[in-house]
Amino acid sequence: MKRTRQEIGRHGEDAVYQMLCSVYGRNVRRMPYSHPFDLLVDGIRVDVKTANSHRTSKHNKEFITWSFNIHKAGIVLSSQADCYVCRLEGVPYTSQAIHLAFVSPIATPTINISMRALLNQGYAKEREQFIALTQGTLQVPTGLIAK
């Protein structure tokens, strides 16, 4: 049975919450439904985005990609979150998801990630930023951290 976008999103949020609390010992608070961000992690406002992989074709070549909407009604609201954690599910050859952290502000309404870019270290900085979030060392611009 296919999951709805809301179910996928809630599952991803739960998985990131559990990982940050149980595995890494971070101080994490869940925010209410329809809040501008999902988690408060050591004072950093985190919006979790989850996507399953999908296959696309271009010029008779097949690509595996993930797409994340960062906007609400076409407007990017980077001031409402300090960072966006993108959880990539359905990664070929593994049952594990990949996590990337994008620090605000973000100028684009949609983040599109290809398997090719992942393999070519195209998102090494965002992977390192996620690791910094798990270790409590992520740097976000001054003035964005929630009190």
Sorted by where each starts, the structural domains of the chain and their CATH numbers stand as: 5-135 (3.40.1350)
Mean pLDDT of 15-27: 96
Which residues have C-beta within 8 Å of that of residue 78, sequence separation ≥ 6?
70, 104, 105, 106, 107
pLDDT digits (tens, 9 = 90+) for 35-94: 889 999 999 999 999 999 988 877 778 889 999 988 776 667 667 899 999 999 999 888
User: What pLDDT is recorded for position 73?
Assistant: 64
User: What pLDDT is recorded for position 143?
Assistant: 52
54-58 and 61-69 as β-strands: parallel, antiparallel, unpaired? antiparallel
Looking at per-residue confidence, does 71 or 119 come out higher?
Answer: 119
Q: Strand, coil or helix: what is 125?
A: helix
Apex CA 121: angle with CA 112 and CA 75, to 5°? 25
User: What pLDDT is recorded for position 129?
Assistant: 96
User: What pLDDT is recorded for position 83?
Assistant: 94
- Average pLDDT over the chain, rounded to whole? 88
9-18, 41-50, 138-147: segment of lowest average pLDDT = 138-147
Mean pLDDT of 17-46: 94
